[in-house]
Amino acid sequence: MGAVLAAVLGASLAGCSSTGGKRAEERAKAAEAGRPAVSTPRWTFAMVTHAGDGDTFWDIVQKGAKEAAAKDNINFVYAHDDQAQQQAQFVQNAIDQKVDGIVVSLAKPEALKDVLAKAVKAGIPVITVNSGSAQSAEYGALTHIGQDEVIAGEAVGTELDKRGKKRAVCVLHEQGNVGHEQRCAGAKKTFSGTMENLYVEGTNMPSVQAAIQAQLQADPSIDAIVTLGAPFAPTAVKAKDAAGSKAEVDTFDLNASVARDLKSGALGFAVDQQPYLQGYEAIDLLWLYRYNANVLGGGRPVLTGPQIVTAAEAAKLEEYIKRGSR
């Protein structure tokens, strides 16, 4: 037993990598400032989102929020659930705890209407992020920070036209998500070719690949595939290769493998909504409101996207993506 352990340790020490890995990550972490830069009291801000478990995108939002909280001397509390009832429950929990501010995503606005009214009545400032720009002001939130999904979709349609595409597939990986429907609808609106929706089971990657593959085999004239989440882009590329199709894969959102594939040309473009900014700004704006009664946006949503990212920008963004902030 001891001998085996020693052998493993020895081997891992002898075989050090001078690039990447945990050590590079630690160096990057040490470079980030983790001390508060202000002397305001330690307020507690709660963030409640509709994210499912283990979601990359929301992880980045959370990172932005956490780093803003560290700067602004905020005690940051996070809770999430993809079921509306549970999300409303978490907002109620935050009110019970008498937090000093609430950040909430309104993917299912009606479900949160009553509980947000309660928060406003209790005098807790609310900022909505990511989804729910239409309801934000009506429910008494100070500001909405996010990307208008229809506008983002329209940007995709325009970009596809620019690239001379004729037949596109929009891959929806979450049945029941209103924002996803809006993205595909927006893309359809501005795209002069034809676009079809393909519903796949996002929690099951092999079945996602099989579904896209089947679609490409059934219709060889498809020349563009648009996925709605970064993790699905590499899968779509695999499906394309397996089906022997020449279609270009484009995606919403970024992650490390998307950046790599953009650089290598395996992906056409990505539409970024800067999740880091959504989390960071939400906390920072709550702090500003508490500290100085500032409100941003003039009653209109503050947009964090869409940003079209192509091979040229991908190279620059790669290191930020690697550290998990883009």
Partner 1 sequence: MSAVAPVGGRDERLAPTSTLRKLLARPELGSVVGAVAVFVFFSIAAPSFLQASSLSTVLYSASTIGIMAAPVALLMIGGEFDLSAGVMVTTSALVSSMFSYQMTANVWVGVGVSLLVTLAIGFFNGFMLTRTKLPSFIITLGTFLMLTGLNLGFTKLITGTVSTKTIADMEGFSSARALFASQWNIGSVTLKVTILWWFAIVAVATWILLRTRAGNWIFAVGGGADAARATGVPVVKTRIGLYMGVALCAWISGQHILFSFDVVQSGEGVGNEFLYIIAAVIGGCLMTGGYGSAIGSAVGAFIFGMTSNGIVYAQWNPDWFKFFLGAMLLLATLLNAWVRKRAEATK
Instruction: Give the binding site for partner 1 (CB under 8 A).
Output: 53, 75, 77-81, 83-86, 88-90, 92-98, 108, 110-111, 113-114, 118, 174-178, 181
| Cβ proximity to partner 1, 97 vs 194, nearer residue | 97
| Shortest distance, position 222 Cβ to partner 1, whole Å | 22
Sign of CA dihedral 289, 86, 201, 108: negative
Sign of CA dihedral 4, 9, 13, 16: positive
State how far Cα 57 lies from the chain centre.
3
Q: List the strands of the sheet with 224-227, edge to edge.
A: 194-199, 167-172, 224-227, 248-252, 267-272, 307-309
How far apart are alpha carbons 324 and 316 in whole angstroms? 14
| Shortest distance, position 201 Cβ to partner 1, whole Å | 11
List the Cα angle 259/264/270 in 5-degree steps.
Answer: 40
| Cβ proximity to partner 1, 163 vs 189, nearer residue | 189
| Cβ proximity to partner 1, 78 vs 276, nearer residue | 78
DSSP characters for 169-235? EEEE-STT-HHHHHHHHHHHHH-SSEEEEEE--TT-HHHHHHHHHHHHHH-TT--EEEESSTTHHHH
How far apart are alpha carbons 147 and 129 in whole angstroms? 9
| Cβ proximity to partner 1, 177 vs 251, nearer residue | 177
| Shortest distance, position 260 Cβ to partner 1, whole Å | 27
Structure tokens at 103: 């950040």
| Shortest distance, position 120 Cβ to partner 1, whole Å | 15
| Cβ proximity to partner 1, 94 vs 243, nearer residue | 94
| Shortest distance, position 125 Cβ to partner 1, whole Å | 19
Sign of CA dihedral 28, 70, 76, 300: negative
| Strand, coil or helix: 261 | helix
| Cβ proximity to partner 1, 92 vs 217, nearer residue | 92
| Cβ proximity to partner 1, 79 vs 120, nearer residue | 79
| Shortest distance, position 135 Cβ to partner 1, whole Å | 11
| Shortest distance, position 41 Cβ to partner 1, whole Å | 17
Q: How many residues in total does the chain contain?
A: 326
DSSP character for 320? H
Provide CB contacts within 8 A for 243, sequence distance 6+.
212, 213, 216, 217
| Strand, coil or helix: 248 | strand
| Cβ proximity to partner 1, 10 vs 34, nearer residue | 34
| Cβ proximity to partner 1, 112 vs 303, nearer residue | 112
| Shortest distance, position 313 Cβ to partner 1, whole Å | 32
| Shortest distance, position 64 Cβ to partner 1, whole Å | 17
Structure tokens at 218: 């059934």
